[in-house]
Structure 1
């Protein structure tokens, strides 16, 4: 009979740090080994005969962006402090569903950070916005169109 699989969620306490070492998909906090990923728990022998606990994602699970990963995003909105984006690709792998993210104004460029300026789009109809500098149009739902910007 095969052993039953145990599924873990991020932050779940798996065992004491004295019982086993933290493997991939886990971390140690306050003397306990905790899950860093959602996935299946795996126990095995580690280096030096110390048991090791790891959490593995299912093969069909959604790919998640990590800190430091190169991602491709679509900018959804810009204001004076940050840009809201939808993450579409992690590396060269497309995501099944987009993740939401925020990029601070200071993090847009490595140098000349004070030269970053976001131009606010202007509503021109109930379903279109236009950039006042480039005059490119984008289809979006508009709640209220001001009469001076309405196209005729």
Structure 2
């Protein structure tokens, strides 16, 4: 009977969780490795993909909350963190936001899917109210961005509001790799047509 209960506990703990998944409340558990507490809603979230484990507190500890950690996922690669510079591919552009698939964290390729969201207020540092998302990004664009935080929908909030951040590679309507001609424009080398983008300044 005891062995059966232990097996049940192991099965319950062998739960694969992903970044942004709710692990519990701060009042009930403490975040360990691979987890973090969001103070604005007192909730503990997973910060990476892995298996959830619950560690009992020491008997003599004044804090008797168990610690929850996320570990042991073999395919675990680099994980975006606030402050990370990432390379992402734009997948959808809407009136107020653009969605992107994060491909690299720093120089390392990710091994799992991470979604990024660029909000209108995070596209550039000036004239934020005049930002037109459709004149800043197009689906398929490759952007360099800064991770601001993990949002509420398992997506990372990204910013391109620095000179060196923004679109680093984009295809023209004609299918050619465009060349930056200003902070806000790129040109097709085949047709000469100008297209609007939030262009990243390339280090010389």
Q: TM-score range by the shorter chain?
A: 0.5 to 0.7
- Contact between 1:22 and 1:28, CA under 8 Å: does it hold in 2? no
- Match status 1:11 vs 2:25: no
Q: Which one has a larger percent strand, Structure 1 or Structure 2?
A: 1
**8 Å CA contact 1:75, 1:84 repeated in 2:** yes
Distance 1:80 1:13 in 2: 34
Residues 1-150 of structure 1 mapped to structure 2, 5 A cutoff? 5=10, 6-8=13-15, 9=17, 10-13=21-24, 17=28, 21-24=29-32, 25=35, 27=37, 36-37=45-46, 38-45=50-57, 49=61, 50-51=63-64, 52-63=66-77, 64-76=79-91, 78=93, 81-113=96-128, 114=130, 117-118=135-136, 123-124=173-174, 128=175, 133-135=186-188
Query: In structure 2, do the counterparts of structure 1 residues 80 and 12 end up closer, same or farther at CA, with 3 Å as the change threshold?
Result: closer
For residue 142 of structure 1, what is the aligned residue in structure 2? Answer: none
For residues 89 and 45 of structure 1, the distance between their equivalents in structure 2, rounded to whole angstroms, comes to 37
Gaps in structure 1 of 5+ consecutive residues: 138-152
What's the CA shift for 1:73?
Answer: 1.5
Query: Of the two structures, which has the highest relative contact order with CA contacts closer than 8 Å and spacing of 6 or more?
Result: 2
Shift of 1:118: 2.7
Deviations 1:69-96 (A, max 9, x none): 4322233454554333221122443202
Shift of 1:53: 1.5
Q: Structure 1 pair 26/129, CA: closer, same or farther in 2 (3 Å)?
A: same
- Alignment CA distance shift 1:102-1:136 (3 Å): farther
Indicate conservation of the 8 Å contact 2:37/2:45, yes or no: yes
Normalised to the residue count of structure 2, the TM-score between the two structures is: 0.42
User: What SS does the corresponding residue of 1:45 show, helix, strand or coil?
Assistant: coil
Aligned Cα root-mean-square deviation (Å): 4.3
Find the counterpart in structure 2 of residue 150 from structure 1: none
Deviation at 1:28, TM superposition (A): 8.8
What secondary structure does 2:22 align onto?
coil
| Structure 2: gaps spanning 5 or more residues | 139-170, 179-184, 191-204
Number of aligned positions between the proteins = 126
CA apart distance, 1:39: 1.7
Q: Which whole-Å CA distance do the structure 1 matches of 2:92 and 2:36 have between them?
A: 35
CA-CA distance at 1:107 after TM superposition: 0.5
